[in-house]
Amino acid sequence: MTGTTRGTRLGDRLLHAWTWLVIVWLSSPIAVMILFGFNDKKSKSNTAWQGFTLRWYGELFDISDLTTALTNSLVVAVVSTVVTVVIGTMLGLALGRHRFRGKGATTFLVFAAISTPELVMGASLLSLFVSGNVPRGTVTIVVAHVLFSLSFVVVTVRARVVGLDPSLEEAARDLGATAWGTFRQVTLPSILPGVMAGAMLSFALSIDDYVVTSFVNGSTVTFPLWIVGAVKTGIPPQVNVMGTLIFGIGVLIAVGNAIAARRRT
Amino acid sequence: MRRLTPYLLALPGWMWLAIFLVVPMAAMASVSLQTGNAIDGYAMTFAVSNYTDALGRYSTQLVRSLLYGGLATVAMLLIGYPVAYWIAFKGGRRKSVYLFLLLLPFFVSFVLRTISWNFLLADNGILLGTLKGWGVLPADFHVLATTVAVVGGLAYNFLPFMILPIYVSLERVDPRVVEAAQDLYATRAAAFRQVVLPLSLPGVFAGVLMTFVPATADPINAAILGGTANTMIGNIIQTAYLTNLDYPTASALSFTLMAVLLVGIFLYARLLGTENVLEAAAR
């Protein structure tokens, strides 16, 4: 039996090492992004290390087009997240709690929206806007972002609603609470983690999106679109700095959330 | 009023999906059958030839996309399965830490991640430049603008979507079942092949779907890492729509891509036996 045990241990060690190797592979571009935000580059291209500087952090907003693009991205992300969360939570409640005509068809639509490739979604939206002579810009970007985030909010909220004990709401109503009062004081607090998870997901999906946005943006430029446009002429270090800051804030929020969740239990 | 509640709740979301998902598909179907040009506009002529023309012109890129998407998916499965396995069975109390580390790339924009690979793999960049300086690699060695760069980029960008579903299905496997198999004198390999692997198939099935579809349709990796010789169907559709304003060709190609993916998914589900997969998933 010792032979097997030794073999087992070696296998486990190899798998452990493999896991770390994959983690390093996945993280290496992040390390490069952070590092080159500190690169004291003199030439036009930012691919060779030329020394440490904090200059780009000081000149973060010196490229006005880039700053506008980042602002556009943030505005689109906030507005589309708010819209998505409101209508997605409503649909999630309807699907998780109620029976109604067309429920099956609606569920199908929700999953069709998740499984449609981004490229096809963008292309079909552009077909609609072109056919209907709809001018493209910030509004059409928000419309598109709500569309691809909606299903994720519906799914996370519905999962939470299904796990909710309906007798709590009945009790509230029996005690004289109005429908709205019941929702605000009983239903909403218990589905809130699902709503928050859906909100964070839609924000992340929105701020990251390139493919769908590239079809419906008109002349409005978002952060990912600006970056792709700048590839040929060279990515300025400010992009790395912005990426680093977004990464840092995202990680902080995620870690903070995890710690808060652990404390609650 | 109470009977109306579910309809009122569902209405805005339902309308959004109907107006911006279903109607656009119909619009795209209609555009794909029109003829004309960008200046004078397009008119409906039920031109089925748009499809045959587009396929004739771009079959190379379509086949290449399926090939690259397929290669990347196989690579992700081979790379990701052992990781999911180790975390599910040996991760112990640190499981969530490992999962968090695997998800770190999602905190960086997709486009920026891909550009970082462009940095890393640049002909005289930090990786290849250094190795060339040491004389390990010949001076004309390059990775960018090759198939390896594009497939590698696709595998990199979608890997977490392969690992997570496999991890979820493996996590549900009761370790006592594996112990029982070993108590009954199954070797470690046999216990894996006959017990663990079949139980993880629903996760593999979901992982393959979640990675193959977006990888095949992705235009970013080919654009940033691929150069001109590795153009994929996503780039063709983007250019046809946005640069050439050739809406009929672009729509026909989008529909063809979606049809090919749907048929692929259907065949794949039949091949793997959806019923078995669903049954295993339900357990």
Nearest-by-CA chain B residue for A34:
B116
Which of A107, A127, A208 is the best residue to mutate to test the B interface, defined by the most B CB atoms within 10 Å of its own CB?
A127
CA distance B108 to chain A (A): 6
> For an interface test with A, which of B11, B31, B112 has the most A Cβ atoms less than 10 Å from its Cβ?
B112
pLDDT grade for A1, boundaries at 50, 70 and 90: very low
Report pLDDT for A263: 82
Is residue B225 within 8 Å of B142, Cβ to Cβ?
no
- Write out residues 156-215 of A within 8 Å (CB-CB) of B: 179, 204, 207-208, 210-211, 214-215
Taking the C-alpha atoms of residue B23 and residue A154, their distance in angstroms, rounded to an integer, is 21
What's the pLDDT tens digit per position in B259-270? 999 888 888 888
Residue of A nearest to B76 (CA): A22
| Contact yes or no for A48 and B126 at CB 8 A | yes
Please name every residue paired with B211 in a beta bridge, in sequence order, or none if there are none: none
Chain A: residue whose CA lies nearest to B95: A19
* pLDDT number for residue B252: 95
**pLDDT per residue as tens digits for the range B177-198:** 888 888 888 888 888 888 899 8
pLDDT per position as a tens digit, A199-255: 999 999 999 999 999 999 999 999 999 999 998 888 899 999 999 999 999 999 989
* Partner-chain contact A118 B217, CB within 8 Å: yes
- Chain B interface mutation, best of A27, A131, A195, A259, highest count of B Cβ atoms under 10 Å: A131
Contact B237 A123 (CB under 8 A): yes
- Contact residues on chain A for B90, CB-CB shorter than 8 A: 12, 15-16
> What is the spatial distance between Cα B162 and Cα B69, in angstroms, rounded to a whole number?
13
Taking CB atoms and an 8 Å cutoff, what residues of chain A touch B156? 25-26, 29
Q: Which of A 11-30 lie inside 8 A of B, CB atoms?
A: 11-12, 15-16, 18-19, 22-23, 25-30
- Position A232 scores a pLDDT of 81
Residue A230's nearest CA partner among B154, B224, B245 is B224
Residue B3 backbone dihedrals phi, psi, to 5 degrees: -70, -20
Nearest CB among B96, B106, B258 relative to A120 is that of B258
Q: Which residues of B touch A235 (CB under 8 A)?
A: 115
> A155 touching B, CB under 8 A?
no
pLDDT in tens, A58-87: 999 999 999 999 999 999 999 999 999 999
**B138: which DSSP letter?**
-
Of B90, B110, B214, nearest to A117 by CB-CB distance is B214
The residue-averaged pLDDT of A161-185 equals: 87
CB contact under 8 A, A19 and B116: no
Mind telling me how many Å the CA of A185 is from chain B's nearest CA?
A: 18
Closest CA to B252 of B44, B37, B52: B52
Is the pLDDT score of B237 beyond 90? yes
CB contact under 8 A, A4 and B86: no
pLDDT in tens, B31-48: 999 988 877 788 888 888
A224, A226, A231, A234 alpha-carbon torsion, rounded to 10°: -120
Interface test with A, best of B1, B11, B21 (most A CBs within 10 A): B21
- Give the HSE-up count for residue B190: Cα atoms under 13 Å, Cβ half-sphere: 9
Of the listed ranges A13-17, B123-127, B210-214, the least confidently predicted one is B123-127
Q: Which residues of B touch A22 (CB under 8 A)?
A: 79-80, 83, 102, 159
How many angstroms separate the CA of residue A109 from the nearest CA in chain B?
7
**What share of chain B has pLDDT > 70, as a percent?**
95
| Position with higher pLDDT, A4 vs A54 | A54
Beta-carbon separation of B13 and A116 below 8 A: no
